[in-house]
Chains A and B, each alone.
Chain A
């Protein structure tokens, strides 16, 4: 998908004097174990050697007289809003990644404008000076095209080739970058040439993501289906007028959305924020994140956006409705808790893994082919008869007893989970024709209740005796028992 990225590298610097070294820092890991890194640096600071992503202390060492300040994303969003609005006049539904960085999908507006070049010119004209513009396939490549653009827009025709030249550090996963470098993989191209399966088995999910980026697949090629009704909406009978009220409701709604999504085991890459004022004016903005949104990151963005609207043009009459609509859902991005009800755990499992067959053949060689079995249902009156066993890897023999026939007199109720290969003798004490006690190992268990008898006519022509079946319930469990003449047998345990 052709994407334009517009990046204002100096956006965070607003209000900073130009004639002294200056930079803005944000929280984030940087080399040397620093926890604050440079988000933007002015010309003088750059000349002194300060670069984006460098640690704060390292930058201050390079430029001791620099003025520095912490990044205020809310304020930046507020200032950025008019830029986004004017870009949105050109192309609808642009995506904000952060203040100073937007992505524009080209496809929809190509026909309207008559070509990429014309659209690109219009975007550059609208964005104004200070913007760096990149055009490539997919958001990741477009972003790096913009990052590497200098004065001219960077139009990437061959995205794969462009990506392959990028340094490995662009994958933005510090530990993995070090390992890749140590392995001699210094560019995305070198990473992309390795087999994906090998990368996935060595580096897991994160490795897979890096490999996808390196091979130009910005997003998993097989996006998850979007469950319906995931958007959340809140109506406010009393319009929210103060920023505090808006902040509170934004937080609550974001938390609700993420809670719903968590239950489904997903996290969105994109969220559309829609707000309606009491005068009926509806505003929408799409925010995007390369990593799926987590609760705090979503809360932040919703808050920045609402603040930008409230403090910018204002929301006339107050806010009466707020809606968050997630899209571009990802299955990754969070750890499932052990007991969470979710089907996602097994979703990524490849059903056609050849390993299963191989593993079971190996087991056959360990225990013998007669001990590795599959079953099919067949007819019968006793649980033991109702399974047609066959060796794993072989075709079942045709069922002797038709499973679809009615089988009157079959043992009722659920099937016992444990069925002895042959009925085992068991001691039962009777009182007045009713079961009274059962011997389990060394102890006698009182019979709590029982059902039966159900008569079982044996195949008399084969010399089988008739028998009676009982379901006997004790406090230690329920048992299926056969009484044949004077003797009693255990035929199943309802375990």
Chain B
């Protein structure tokens, strides 16, 4: 169980087979890297896929940096909401885990079907809606980006080194809580 932490720590979240993690919040609050880091463990055993719904923005550099095996990571670009669910379902049929950006316009029913497929196929799925929230009852764990602060730059000097995230964590059988983590 997560406990509210006074001191920041490494993010203690993992993507287990058959589980769905939701990552909500605007770009900049640090959730892409968190989402990609969920692929580390599955990439040790099988192919993992990142679905890019922003039209080619997703960079695999960050994934490699956090420890995802480069040879096991495949990036699929699909920002068409009518095709997206089909693509995601096809990917889930075969690979170990998926980090998927959800374009606006994907229906709730399609997401529920994907959730069921994820459980049935024992894959791991991290959903990152580009706008808004995921419907209730889909995810086992939901991370909401609240704030981010960076260390390193000092009015021109230095460079980005480490960040501290403030996340809201909630999920099935978990009470709501706020978590400070470096990630």
Contact = CB atoms under 8 A, between A and B. Distances in A.
Contacts, number: 219
Contacts of A338: 16, 19, 140-141, 171-174
A451 B160 contact: yes
Contacts of B70: 374-377
Interface string A369-404: 001111111000001101100001000000000000
Nearest to A371: B77
B62 interface: yes
Judged by DSSP, the binding face of A is mixed
Contacts of A383: 59, 61
B74 A345 contact: no
B46 A349 contact: yes
Given A346-B44, A349-B42, A420 B150 contact: no
Interface majority SS on B: helix, strand, loop or mixed? mixed
A192 to B, nearest CB: 25
A239 interface: no
A434 interface: yes
A375 B76 CA distance: 11
| Residue in B49, B64, B77, B90 with the greatest tally of chain A CB atoms within 10 Å | B90
A382 to B, nearest CB: 11
A263 to B, nearest CB: 13
Contacts of A479: 28
Contacts of B45: 346-347, 349, 351
A86 B67 CA distance: 56
Interface string B52-75: 001111111111110000110111
A475 interface: yes
B78 interface: yes
B105 interface: no
Given A338-B141, A346-B41, A451 B17 contact: no
A414 B62 contact: yes
B35 to A, nearest CB: 9
**A interface, size bucket:** 35 or more
Nearest to B172: A338
Interface in A411-439: 412-421, 434
B181 interface: no
Nearest to B13: A339
B129 interface: no
Interface string B21-57: 0000011111111001000011011110100001111
A386 B58 CA distance: 13
Interface string A331-366: 000001111111101110111010111111011001
A489 interface: no
Nearest to B80: A367
A360 B47 contact: yes
A383 B59 CA distance: 8
A336 B19 CA distance: 11
A421 B55 contact: yes
Given A339-B141, A360-B74, A372-B74, A495 B96 contact: no
Given A372-B76, A495-B33, A451 B95 contact: no
Interface in A436-495: 440, 449-453, 471, 473-479, 492-495
A476 B146 CA distance: 9
A416 B65 CA distance: 10
B75 A449 contact: no
Contacts of A376: 70
Given A417-B58, A451-B157, A471-B159, A359 B83 contact: no
Nearest to A346: B45
Of the four ranges (under 10, 10 to 19, 20 to 34, 35 or more), the interface on chain B belongs to 35 or more
Contacts of A360: 47, 49, 74, 76, 91, 94-95
B94 A450 contact: no
A191 B174 CA distance: 41
A440 B28 CA distance: 11
B62 A373 contact: no
Interface string B76-118: 1110000100110011111110000000000000000000000
A375 B60 contact: yes
Interface string B3-23: 000000000111011010000
A359 B91 contact: yes
B158 interface: yes
Interface string B145-183: 001111011111111110100000001111000000000
Given A339-B2, A415-B62, A494-B30, 12 more contacts: A342-B14, A360-B74, A360-B76, A372-B76, A377-B61, A383-B61, A412-B160, A417-B62, A421-B55, A473-B150, A473-B153, A477-B148
27 contacts: A338-B141, A338-B174, A339-B141, A346-B46, A347-B45, A353-B94, A359-B92, A360-B76, A360-B91, A360-B95, A366-B78, A371-B77, A372-B77, A374-B75, A383-B61, A418-B57, A421-B55, A449-B150, A450-B153, A471-B152, A478-B28, A478-B160, A492-B59, A494-B150, A494-B160, A495-B29, A495-B32
Interface of A: 336-343, 345-347, 349-351, 353, 355-360, 362-363, 366-367, 371-377, 383-384, 386-387, 392, 412-421, 434, 440, 449-453, 471, 473-479, 492-495
